[in-house]
């Protein structure tokens, strides 16, 4: 028996039409310029997106062609988010924090036909321009030195010459809409291609998980070049939320000024961003009171940070988990109903529970599924309608297992379905045949009042095979030594977990998306480039 439902295609185009028609004159897109904001209505943004589509069409862009963006979070980037997939082309966001060599690989691998670039990032593109032969046109918006870029056109001039409407095509929902490259795998960055259907369903997953509606003013701190800013721009457009885009001004001072001026109610970002905002707000009495909730992800969120946002800023900081391959929303950490107030933080500091549409399982070394008992440790695998089943143009069978994505994360799931990631598989510390959770050690260290940030990695040990090395960044003016921090950890973790090796640094190396780059820390240790202090012995 077949249903009587209409064969309605789930596309980004339907989201665009919905947002423009219902909220065109009431909702806004606001871009921060460092000292003031630039406002545009949904209707104005939709019209400019139509003009951009016309311009790209004249440049020869056809369905399936890749159009890249090299840009910060701003109105023009959002116009590209709408125009490119809705005309049947594929939006390819370039991570501006990658090396020139990685960018060359990504552009050539995707065979980008056009690149839309922010004027402030022109030097980055100019440095690789001669090495990306598939790129036929470059469009520049905003101010910048274009002298070394070669042939290009100006964004505003190009779209001003085009009609204000576009004959948007009918698109099949399984068609490619956007693509991002992940650097979380070994070797060259690998492409993940999102379908219109996946984006559409992901929007509904985020809508429910983040509890959003038209009244929200969303500050999108997550870069639009990173997993489509967690899908938040599309969700906001669908719901009619006012979008606040910080452009390149991601340091604590301008971010806090933007918040004070434009009063967002909701935001999302990585722990390092929120740690900086918290420190600046406390030191300068910045007014962040408009924000009621914030999603934090990208790496494990220290419990101390969640508590500080609650106690010092009255902001509900909610931990979420995902990755480029999962579009990215996979889990969100909200306490189950009926939990005593004094236990809420125990649930908030977990990785979270799968959102509807995402299946998770923990798999042992033999490939068999492990029980949800909160004790059985294995690799996390995921599947669902917005989770990739392959990489673009690359065979990577080691990343997939029986139709599931192997995430590379290691952890446990309890009887209520709450996931606790204890490590990345490549970062697991196995000491004397037993596991040590670097994530748990880092979270406890982050709770010490003198510690700004900490990373724990496994290093070779003659007796135990591996032992933890703690790399610590102290807060300005604070003092703490290895013994102080070992004593602080004692009683919070097993005694044999306590690191004997400590190094104090001014900053931790980060990846292109702001995560701790532990392979760099391990290499610095191996090369003897860290000042390491050794105290205590591994207890057993």
What digits encode the pLDDT tens for the residues 77-124? Answer: 999 999 999 999 999 999 998 889 989 999 999 999 999 999 999 999
pLDDT digits (tens, 9 = 90+) for 464-487: 888 999 999 999 999 999 999 999
Residue 514: band (very low, low, confident or very high) from pLDDT cuts 50, 70, 90: confident
pLDDT digits (tens, 9 = 90+) for 118-127: 999 999 999 9
Q: Residue 539's pLDDT is what?
A: 61
Residues 171, 11 contacting (CB under 8 angstroms): yes
Q: Residue 298's pLDDT is what?
A: 85
Largest CA distance in the chain: 74
Quote the mean pLDDT of the chain. Answer: 94
Nearest to 313 by CA among 340, 297, 333, 293: 293
Phi/psi zone of residue 221: left (φ > 0), alpha (ψ -120 to 50 degrees), beta?
A: alpha
Q: Residue 12's pLDDT is what?
A: 98
Place of tokens 């408009």: 290
Percent of the chain with pLDDT over 70: 99
Residues 59-72, buried b or exposed e (16+ Cβ, 10 A)?
Answer: bebeeebbbbbbbb
Domain map (residue ranges) of the chain: 8-32+39-210, 427-534
Residue 320: band (very low, low, confident or very high) from pLDDT cuts 50, 70, 90: very high
- Range in 182-186, 265-269, 409-413 with the lowest mean pLDDT: 182-186
Before 328, cis peptide (omega within 30)? yes
Residues 168-187, buried b or exposed e (16+ Cβ, 10 A)?
Answer: beebebebbbbbbbbbbbee
Q: Which class in CATH covers the domain with range 427-534? A: alpha beta
- Judge residue 22's burial from the number of C-beta atoms within 10 Å of its C-beta, 0-12 exposed, 13-18 middle, 19 or more buried: middle
Q: Which residues are known to be catalytic?
A: 182, 325, 430, 435
Taking the C-alpha atoms of residue 97 and residue 354, their distance in angstroms, rounded to an integer, is: 30
Which residues neighbour 79 within 8 Å (Cβ) at sequence distance 6 or greater?
45, 48, 49, 52
Q: Residue 184's pLDDT is what?
A: 59
Helix 271-284 / helix 303-313 crossing angle, nearest 10 deg: 30
Helices (H) and strands (E) in the chain, counts: 16, 27
For residue 436 the two structure tokens come to 């040590």
Q: Residue 511's pLDDT is what?
A: 80
Which residues neighbour 69 within 8 Å (Cβ) at sequence distance 6 or greater?
77, 80, 91, 92, 93, 94, 115, 116, 117, 224, 225
For residue 238 the two structure tokens come to 């669908």
Q: Residue 292's pLDDT is what?
A: 97
Residues 125, 68 contacting (CB under 8 angstroms): no
Report the SS3 class of residue 425.
Answer: coil
pLDDT value at 186 more than 60: no
Q: Which class in CATH covers the domain with range 8-32+39-210? A: alpha beta
Residues 89, 58 contacting (CB under 8 angstroms): no
Q: Residue 464's pLDDT is what?
A: 85
pLDDT digits (tens, 9 = 90+) for 134-166: 999 999 999 999 989 999 999 999 999 999 999
- Range in 254-258, 358-362, 496-500 with the lowest mean pLDDT: 496-500
- What is the value of pTM for the model shown? 0.87
Q: Residue 540's pLDDT is what?
A: 55
pLDDT digits (tens, 9 = 90+) for 425-435: 778 787 876 77
| Phi and psi at residue 320, to the nearest 5° | -135, 155
Chain-centre distance of CA 5, in angstroms?
A: 36
């Amino acid at each position: 028996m077949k249903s009587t439902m209409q064969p309605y295609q789930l596309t980004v185009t339907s989201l665009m039409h919905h947002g423009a028609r219902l909220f065109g004159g009431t909702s806004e897109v606001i871009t921060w310029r460092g000292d003031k904001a630039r406002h545009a209505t949904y209707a104005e943004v939709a019209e400019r997106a139509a003009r951009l589509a016309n311009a790209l069409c004249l440049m020869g862009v056809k369905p399936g062609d890749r159009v890249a963006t090299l840009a910060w979070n701003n109105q023009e980037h959002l116009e590209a988010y709408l125009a490119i997939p809705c005309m049947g082309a594929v939006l390819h966001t370039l991570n501006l924090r990658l090396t020139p060599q990685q960018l060359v690989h990504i552009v050539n691998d995707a065979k980008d036909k056009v690149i839309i670039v922010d004027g402030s990032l022109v030097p980055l593109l100019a440095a690789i321009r001669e090495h990306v032969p598939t790129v036929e046109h470059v469009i520049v918006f905003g101010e910048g030195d274009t002298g070394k870029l070669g042939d290009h056109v100006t964004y505003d001039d190009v779209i001003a010459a085009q009609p204000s409407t576009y004959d948007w095509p009918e698109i099949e929902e399984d068609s490619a809409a956007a693509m991002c490259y992940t650097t979380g795998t070994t070797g060259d960055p690998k492409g993940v291609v999102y379908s219109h259907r996946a984006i559409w369903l992901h929007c509904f997953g985020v809508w429910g998980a983040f509890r959003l509606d038209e009244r929200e003013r969303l500050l999108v701190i997550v870069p639009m070049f990173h997993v489509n800013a967690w899908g938040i721009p599309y969700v906001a457009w669908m719901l009619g939320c006012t979008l606040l885009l910080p452009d390149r001004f991601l340091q604590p001072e301008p971010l806090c000024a933007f918040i004070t001026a434009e009063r967002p109610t909701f935001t999302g970002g990585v722990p390092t961003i929120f740690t900086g905002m918290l420190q600046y707000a406390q030191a300068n009495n910045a007014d962040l009171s408009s924000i009621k909730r914030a999603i934090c992800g990208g790496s494990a969120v220290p419990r101390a940070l969640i508590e500080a946002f609650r106690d010092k800023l009255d902001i509900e900081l909610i931990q979420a988990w995902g990755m480029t391959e999962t579009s990215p929303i996979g889990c969100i950490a909200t306490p189950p109903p009926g939990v005593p107030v004094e236990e809420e933080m125990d649930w908030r500091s977990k990785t979270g529970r799968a959102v509807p549409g995402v299946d998770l399982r923990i798999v042992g070394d033999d490939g068999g599924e492990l029980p949800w008992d909160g004790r059985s440790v294995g690799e996390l695998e995921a599947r669902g309608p917005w989770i990739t089943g392959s990489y673009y143009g690359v065979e990577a069978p080691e990343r997939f297992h029986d139709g599931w994505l192997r995430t590379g994360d290691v952890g446990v799931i309890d009887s209520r379905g709450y996931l606790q990631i204890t490590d990345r598989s490549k970062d697991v510390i196995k000491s004397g045949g037993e596991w040590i959770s670097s994530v748990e050690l880092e979270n406890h260290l982050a709770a010490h009042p003198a510690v700004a940030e900490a990373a724990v990695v496994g290093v070779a040990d003659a007796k135990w095979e591996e032992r933890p090395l703690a790399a610590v960044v102290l807060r300005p003016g604070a003092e703490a030594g290895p013994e102080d921090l070992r004593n602080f950890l004692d009683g919070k973790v097993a005694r044999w977990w306590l690191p004997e090796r400590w190094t104090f640094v001014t900053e931790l190396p980060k990846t292109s998306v702001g995560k701790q780059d532990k392979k760099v820390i391990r290499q610095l240790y191996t090369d003897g480039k860290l000042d390491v202090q050794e105290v205590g012995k591994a207890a057993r």
